[in-house]
Structure 1
Amino acid sequence: MTKTKEVLKKNTMLIALAVVMVLFQVLISIAGKGSLFAPANITNLILQNSYVVILAVGMLMCILTGGNIDLSVGSIVALVGAIAGVMIVSNKMNVYLTILVCLVLGTLIGAWQGFWIAYVRIPAFIVTLAGMMLWRGVALIVLNGLTISPFPQEYLRYFSSFLPGDASNKGLILSVTLIVGAVLCAVYLAVQLIGRAKKLRKGYDVESQGMLWGRIVLICAVVMALSYLLGSNKGIPVVLILLGVIILAYSYYTQNTVPGRYLYAMGGNEKAAKLSGINTNRTLFFAYTNMGFLSAVAALVCIARFNSAAPSAGTNYEMDAIGACYIGGASAYGGTGTVSGAVIGAIFMGVLNNGMSILGIDANWQKVVKGIVLLAAVVFDVVSKKHSSKS
């Protein structure tokens, strides 16, 4: 019973996500408005929420350091997008050079804010609030208040195209996506079995074989179902590959590297971390520098999705990213949270938006629902922490 409770507690948001998806599917079917799991809708769900996933991963790094947040990410997205628009569309500059310049610019902006937060110790809220206004203003100046479009196909193919690319051959698209799904399942199976064998050799505690195989079967079923749905539409979005690389890289960094564990140590108790030899200033500086870098990546994805660079781009993106982290289990006090949890939170937000939009729910009521969900997630975190400390 204890293990079952532990598993349920560990996967609370995953279970909640599954319940919400089934609920929306039932409501949409009753309303006669199609299906939440329609192939085209699944593809749109990925494309619409790609920026949330990217920003949520970066925001998690900031939150882990002690509940800090970055309010400037939406404005950085607007500024980097504006620079890309001017370079590629207006000045016809090289696409690869522009991408490099944009990534460097985002990283430098993050480092600028990280310096004031980490070394001068100005509160992150104040620095990033100033950044939110500053970078939005610079974006408006760069674009002169105008929207730049369209972007050349040479650029769009890296962020808004699909694999294998031959849209006319539906059979090829489905075959390729199913093969990719099967390969991913095989790799996941091998990683899980090898990891379990290593733990057993070292004498570590491992989950029961029933739990292991149950998880493997469930995840592989989801992967194959997603592959089938994507293959039934246009194929694998290139941006999904980018998201996969980011999620895997940052999951490994936070869970399996020493600097990644420093983020958790600092969020747990900064003074103790400092006394144990961790350079907390450098850790905090990294978190915000990295946030600037990922904001630039999100900007490159967004301008490709909308095929334009607009001064209003990125509005409220910071709220989506923060909400995704907290809904995904990140603690409001820092030191707790995972990349996978932030991704689940982003998908949860995306499903809420998508499901309510299909049902034709008023945009104002959508904001009410999302606000209640975010508050509930934070309340759950605070109450569970108090309960744990008492017990």
Structure 2
Amino acid sequence: MKVSKRVLEMEESVTLAAGARAKQLKAEGRDILSLTLGEPDFTTPENIQEAAIAAIRDGRASFYTVTSGLPELKTAISGYFEKFYGYSVAPNQVTVATGAKFSLYTFFMSVINPLDEVIIPTPYWVSYADQIKMAEGVPVFVQAREANDFKVTVAQLEAARTAKTKVLVLNSPSNPTGMIYSREELLAIGNWAVEHDILILADDIYGRLVYNGNTFTPISSLSEAIRKQTVVINGVSKTYAMTGWRIGYAVGEPEIIAAMTKVAGQTTSNPTAVAQYGAIEALIGEQDTVEQMRQAFEERLNTIYPLLAEVPGFEVVKPQGAFYLFPNVKKAMDMKGFTDVTAFTTAILEEVGVALVTGAGFGAPENVRLSYATDLDTLKEAVKRLKTFMEG
């Protein structure tokens, strides 16, 4: 039996592959510290759990919902946008999906025609490029340099623009770098996109996870013209420690939102009903727990960053948000005799039991990604082992 060319050409998710390898070695009895997955180590807040249990017990979670999501959840999302984005949205501007990743997929399937080009600043989250290829589009990579805090400029975007450019992907705070675009930078990018009729795909999933006085500005909040050009992707996974619940959503102009709902209707149908009831409580319920988790991530960042910077050959820009560090390890690889970053991360895993993610899958062949969405003791021990590896 032969599989499709589409699947043969598809890259495996490096983050999921690294996480799976770490779990396999743990199952074999190895002492493995995994810093691979972007997954909070906190359990879902109790008020959210209880709301979901109540929905099960009173029968509300037993049935299909409309494909685009419960009306009550759309109302909660609109309220969330009023509070954190500064504008409200109508029900026909919202569609809920089985995770933010699937929201991204339905977006690309809805707007990309064969050979349409999508600009992706690098380093980039691993699934953007392959989802674009699945939609028969062409990813066009623009390198965001470390010297500019991993952010692209309008001049770089203009140099990459062609008559086929359809979409710009913008992820701020960024996975994997954790860097945040300023209001001024976003305004310049947004106005450029409006001028050239380029859609903005704003991946805002880490917007609530910012640290040390930094501020997240949603590009869609800057002007009505930019808002009409933008589709926002967000969800409850990162902010509310709900990765397993698989609830994401998109907000944008009704025509695109309707198209995304149409794709979902022929693939997943509605998101899981009980998870939607949990998401309603997440968005409208108490937010103290969210702040407690954010403060914990901030403490981990401020503790682990200077320790990682002391590891020989590891050069790291301090992130402003999300929960990743993305050190440049070119010097470290040279010191240890490696020319390939994936081989370098494999050696670290096998020799000292620390699972990192190769930067190759993010379009950054001189970097590695580590997640600090785990406890401080594990993080400290992991960095200690990295130092041992480099000094051995």
Q: What's the TM-score, normalizing by structure 1?
A: 0.27
Larger helix proportion of the pair: 1
> Which of the pair has the greater relative contact order for Cα pairs under 8 Å at 6+ separation?
1
Q: What's the TM-score, normalizing by structure 2?
A: 0.27
Larger strand proportion of the pair: 2
